[in-house]
Structure formats: structure tokens, C-alpha cells
Amino acid sequence: MAEHLKLYSAATLDALSAEAVRAARLRKNLNVHPTLDDPIQRLFNAMEPGTYARPHRHARDDGWELMVAVRGAFAVLFFDGEGGVLHRVDLRANGGDCAVEIPARAWHCVVSLAPGTIMFEVKPGPYLALEDKDFACWAPPEGDPRASSWARWFETARVGERTPA
């Protein structure tokens, strides 16, 4: 049995955070699932403040996601179909709310609120890159000159506000 165990140390997570700091996107994944075909996708996601995750949804019946704060803090913003903030969930590894399950088809994005933030994510597989996410047409793509200002806005966005123009 021991040969099938997977153990993740603080040193492993430290290294993952260091990779996120150096990455152009300011985030880095560590997959726990053995292949992208796995029926349950499991991964650590290290992310730094300033990373931009474009609002999206998983438009399939089993498109839920579970996000758990392992280190640091992050927020999950939920939107209507035109970019209005419907709900904000702030998650912290050390106290308060620490996990959220996002329902299928919900427009959402994640924003890091603290250096060294790591979440653990679980969602149904398999991972199909071209079908995994339905990106919001009202939000700029990654790499767009507006993305950094949107990432800053996500940090403080509140229910009832609308995404930047």
C-alpha cells in the first residue's frame, strides 16, 4: 500500500510558491491526478497577488469545482452573464471560511489576496483544454493590456459592482 501513497510536504508547497512568483502568470499548478484523462482532477494551485484569471464557467452538467485554501487567502467572485458581481467568497487557510464548491455553469473567477497563496482544487475530469472553460466575452483575455487593472479590481470588487469598462 505504501507504494501508492502520495505525500506533499511543506517543502514541495514552498517550491511551488517560488515557481508561481517567477512565472509570468504569477501562478503555477501541481497536478495530483496522474493523467489529464483522470475522472477526478486534483491539483494544488499556487497564485500570487496580481495574477489574472479571466472570468469563466464550466458549461457542462458536472462542471462543479471544489476549492480549498491551503495557504494564504483568495476570493472567488461570482458574476451574472454581463459582469455584475453577484457574490464574493473570501477564503483563508488560517481561520474563517476555507472552502467553497462552485456549481456548474456559474460565472466566476479567483483572485489571490496574499503572497504565497495556495489552493487545492478538485473537479470532474477528464481535462479537455478546448472544452474546459467557457470564457466570459465581457472580460479581457490573459495577456490583454487591461488584464492587470482587472486583476487589481477583483481584489476589492463587491456585490452589486460591475466589471471595469
Domain boundaries, the chain: 2-126+146-156
**pTM score, two decimals?**
0.93
Task: Indicate the pairing of strand 27-31 with strand 40-47.
Answer: antiparallel
| Confidence label for 130 from pLDDT (cuts 50, 70 and 90) | low
CATH domain 2-126+146-156 topology: Jelly Rolls (2.60.120)
Rounded Cα distance between 59 and 65, Å, is: 12
pLDDT by residue (tens digit) across 8-59? Answer: 999 999 999 999 999 999 999 999 998 989 999 999 999 999 999 999 999 8
Rounded Cα distance between 149 and 155, Å, is: 10
Residue 163 has pLDDT above 90, yes or no: yes
- Name which of 29, 99, 100, 101 is nearest 62 in CA terms: 101
